[in-house]
A and B are shown apart, each in its own frame.
Chain A
C-alpha cells in the first residue's frame, strides 16, 4: 500500500466510515496516520474531558462533524449533582477560533448555554445539523438564534432536553428564505408555539422528512400541518386529544391516509385513547413506534393498535400493555429488532409485565437484538429460555422494579439466568443487571461476555471478587457503572492499568475509600479521578478512611479539568 500515491490511499479511505475503523487505520503507520487525519471529517468524542478541543482541531483540520458526550450516564437518574460540568461553550469557542468548517454538532448530556448556541449560529456559515440529547441550560432564545442565523440549517433535533421556554417566538425566527429543513424535532419543549408559523414553515420545506411536535400542537393544527407534508417519513404527534368537532377528526384520518411514506411514529404526549384510530391508516407501514410518553392509554387500546403493526422493527411502549399484550406483539411483529418496555405508574394494577411477556417476545421475535425491559419480576427459567431463543442480543438491559428481587419461583438469585444470557449471546455489547445477584453472575460475565463494552450494576454482588471477575475477564470493557454494591478498595486497586483501556468507571455508594482513590490517582497520572463531596463544606479535607459517596474516573489526555465545581475533587 505504501507504493500508492497519497491520492489513491485517500480515495480508499473514503470508503471507510466507522470511527473505529478509521482509528485503526491511523495506527498502521505514519503516512496512514497523516493521510487519515487530513481526510477525517467526522469525529466522535465519548467523553468531552478526555481531550482538549485545541488538540482535536490540530489533528483533524478537515473536521466537519463532531459528536460530544458530557456527563456520565447515571446523570440521567439524578445521580450527578447540578453543575458537575460538560460545558460545550469552550468547544464551540475553540472551533470558531480554529476556523473549523463545522457542519454538524451532536451533543449528549452536555450543558449548552444560549451563549453557545448564539456563537454556534454565527461562527459557522455552513452549519447544517444540530442534535441535542439530554442537554440542559439553553432556552428558546438560543433556539431563536439558531433559527435566525443558520442559513443552511437542515436538522434541528431536540431530544429529551431540559429547555426553559421563554415564550418567545423562536419558530418565527426562521426566515422566509429558509427552505432547507429536513428534520425538525421540538417535542421536548414545554411551551406554546404559534401553529400558523409552524404551518408556513412546513409548507416551505419540501425536503422535510422528520417532524416531531410538542404537546402544544392540537389536533386540528396537526391535520393542517401533516396535510402540507405528505412526504414525511417520521412523525411525532404532539397532542391527540378529542376535538369536539368530529369533522376535524375525520379530516385527520383522511390526511393520514394520504401519508404513504410515514414509517416512524412517536409522541402522543397528550392523548385520548379513542383518537388513536386516526393513526390506523399508517400503522401497517410503520417500522418504528414510540409510545413511551403516552401514559394513560389502556392496555386494550395498545393491543388493538399493535395488531396493525406487522412491519414493526422498533417498539417503545409502556408496561400497561401487559404480558398478554406482549404476547400479541410476539405474534404480530415478526420483524421486531428493538423493544423497550417502560414502567407506567400503575402500581396497583395487575396488567404489568413480568417474565412471561419477555419469554413470549423471545419466542415470537427471532430478530430481537436490543432490549430495555422494566418489569415486576424475573425468573432464571425465563432468562434461560430467552437466552436460547434469542442468541443475537447486542443490548440487554433488565430493570426489575424491586431492585434486589430474587427469582420468585425458586427464591434464588438471578445469577444463572444472566449467566445463560452472556453465555448464549456472544455478540453482547451492553448489559444492565438487576434482581438479587451474587458474585457468581460476575464470574459468568467475566468468563463469557467477550464483546461486552458497557456494564451497569446496581445492588448486586457480595465481595470485591465480583468486580474483579469483570475487570479481569471483559477485555473489551469500556464503560463500567456501579451503584450500591459492596465493592471496595481491593477491587478498585488490583488492576489499575485496566482503567486506561476503558473510557470511564463510575462507582457510587460502594465501599471505596478516599485513600484508595488517592492511591489510584497517584499511580495513574493519565486518569482523572473525581470524587463528589456534596455534603461537606468545600474546604474540609476528607479523611483517607472515609467512604466515597460518588467516584467517577476517566482516562484523559487533557489533564485535570479547570471547570469542576467546588464539590468535585480531582485527586
Chain B
C-alpha cells in the first residue's frame, strides 16, 4: 500500500499519466489489491498532503478519481491532455458542479483594470474551457495555453493567462495538468502578451 502511495506521489509530481514508476507494471496489473479500495483513496491522501488549503475531502476524492485510471501505462507515454473520464458531456458536467456545494472561486484581474472578477474554476473542465470563459468575461483574446505560438502582431488586445500559486509565484497557466493546477492556483491574472 505504501508503495502504491509513493508511486502515486510520483505520478502527481510528474504528470498524472507518465509512467514514472519504472517498475514497469504490465498493462493488466491489478493495483487494486483489495477489491473494495480503488487507488482513488490513496491519491486523495497524496493530494491532501500537497494542498493544505483544500480540506474538502470530496473535492480531493473527485480529483483523485480522475487521476486513478493510470494502470495503462507504457514506458514512454506522456499524456499532456486532461483526463476526461467519465465521458459526460460538458453541459451536464457544468450543471453538476454548480449544483454541488463544491466550488473554487478565485479572483481574476485583467491588466489595466482595477476592479477584478471572480470565477468558479470547478465549473470548467479543462484549460480550454477556462480560457474561453475568461475571454468572454473580459472580452479579449487570450492565447490558449496549449498553443505556444507567439502572436506575430503585438496588439493591445492579445493576452495570456497567468496565476499565482501557493508559494506566491506568478506562473504561466497551462504547464501542469489541470487537476494539479486546481490544487495550486490562488488567483488569476490576464496580462498582455507582449509582456511575457
Contacts and interface: CB of A to CB of B under 8 A. Distances in A.
Interface of A: 76-79, 81-82, 134, 160, 162, 164, 188, 269, 292-293, 295-296, 342-348, 374, 399, 401-406, 408-409, 411, 413, 432, 436, 438, 456, 458-459, 462, 484-486, 509, 511, 534-535, 537-538, 547, 549, 567
Contact of A77 (B32, B84, B144): B84
Contacts of B82: 78
Interface string B99-117: 1101000000000000000
Given A344-B96, A348-B61, A408-B35, A399 B87 contact: yes
Interface residues of B, number: 50
Contact of B86 (A164, A293, A343, A408): A343
B69 A403 contact: yes
Nearest to A160: B91
A20 B188 CA distance: 53
28 contacts: A77-B84, A77-B88, A77-B89, A78-B126, A78-B129, A162-B91, A188-B91, A292-B92, A342-B92, A345-B97, A347-B62, A348-B58, A348-B61, A374-B86, A402-B38, A402-B39, A403-B69, A405-B32, A405-B38, A406-B30, A411-B30, A458-B85, A458-B87, A486-B27, A511-B74, A534-B146, A535-B80, A535-B146
A79 B84 contact: yes
Interface string B51-80: 000000110011001001101101001011
Given A345-B100, A347-B65, A348-B61, A538 B149 contact: yes
B128 interface: yes
B85 to A, nearest CB: 5
B166 interface: no
Contacts of A77: 84, 87-90
Given A293-B92, A404-B69, A462 B128 contact: no
Contacts of A567: 147
The 4 closest A-B pairs by CB, nearest first: A295-B99, A403-B69, A408-B35, A345-B100
Interface in B140-182: 144, 146-149
Contacts of B126: 78
Contacts of B87: 76-77, 399, 432, 456, 458
A134 B92 CA distance: 11
A404 B72 contact: yes
A269 B84 contact: no
Contacts of B85: 401, 403, 458
Contacts of B148: 535, 537
Nearest to B127: A78
Nearest to B146: A534
Given A405-B38, A537-B148, 4 more contacts: A134-B89, A342-B88, A406-B32, A458-B85
B23 interface: no
B150 to A, nearest CB: 10
Interface string B20-55: 000000011010100110111000000000000000
Contacts of B74: 486, 511
A82 B71 contact: no
Given A78-B84, A82-B144, A295-B100, A459 B72 contact: yes
Nearest to B60: A347
B69 A459 contact: yes
A358 B109 CA distance: 48
A374 to B, nearest CB: 6
Nearest to A349: B58
A293 B136 CA distance: 24
Nearest to B70: A404
B90 A81 contact: no
Contacts of A403: 69, 85-86
B65 to A, nearest CB: 6
Nearest to A345: B100
Given A76-B87, A295-B95, A438 B28 contact: yes
B128 A81 contact: yes
B132 interface: yes
Given A406-B30, A459-B69, A462-B27, A76 B149 contact: no
B180 to A, nearest CB: 17
Contacts of B129: 78
A293 B28 contact: no
Contacts of A344: 96, 100
Contacts of A346: 100
Contacts of A347: 58, 61-62, 65
B65 A402 contact: yes
A295 B128 CA distance: 25
A143 B89 CA distance: 23
Contacts of A535: 80, 146, 148
A418 to B, nearest CB: 16
A215 B47 CA distance: 35
A509 B144 CA distance: 21
B13 interface: no
Nearest to A292: B92
Contact of B36 (A408, A459, A511, A547): A408
Nearest to A376: B38
Q: Select the residue from B69, B136, B146 with max chain A CB neighbours within 10 A.
A: B69
B99 A345 contact: yes
A150 B65 CA distance: 48
Contacts of A188: 91
A509 B125 CA distance: 19
A547 B99 CA distance: 40
A23 B114 CA distance: 63
